[in-house]
């Protein structure tokens, strides 16, 4: 029996233990390439810096099987911006 797997997709995530490499804080005014798995194709999304040092990421298109505990890594073209650990996701 086939089931609806729409519950596997998420639009937003919050990442903790963020390490920003290129900037002091990851800029909020642009779209970045974001990977939630090493072998995954990068997805586009926007970042919002949270007061506690965490970041919120909203994907342009919902992403499949993003799971708390995984790493999230952000790129600007070929440049590594930084990353963190996914704390929670929100459809």
Tens of each residue's pLDDT in the chain, 91 residues: 556 688 889 999 999 999 999 999 999 989 999 999 888 899 999 999 999 999 999 999 999 999 999 999 999 999 999 999 999 998 6
Residue 20 sits in which domain range? 9-90
**CATH no. for residue 26?**
2.40.30.10
What are the tokens at 87? 């704390």
In-domain check, residue 2: no
pLDDT value, residue 91: 65
In-domain check, residue 4: no
In-domain check, residue 3: no
pLDDT value, residue 80: 96
Provide the 3-class DSSP secondary structure of residue 38.
Answer: coil
What are the tokens at 17? 């233990």
Which element (helix H / strand E) includes 91?
A: none
Rg (CA), the chain: 13
Q: Specify the number of domains making up the chain.
A: 1
pLDDT value, residue 40: 85
In-domain check, residue 36: yes
pLDDT value, residue 28: 94
pLDDT value, residue 78: 94
> Can you tell me the distance from the alpha carbon of 17 to that of 7, in angstroms, rounded to the nearest whole number?
26
């Amino acid at each position: 029996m086939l089931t609806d797997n729409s519950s596997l997709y998420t639009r937003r995530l919050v990442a903790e233990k963020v390490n920003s490499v290129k900037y002091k804080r990851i800029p909020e005014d642009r779209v970045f390439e974001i990977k939630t798995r090493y072998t995954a194709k990068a997805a586009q999304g926007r970042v919002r810096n949270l007061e506690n040092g965490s970041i919120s990421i909203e994907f342009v298109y919902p992403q499949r099987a993003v799971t708390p505990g995984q790493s999230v890594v952000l790129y600007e073209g070929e440049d590594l911006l930084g990353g963190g650990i996914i704390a929670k996701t929100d459809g």
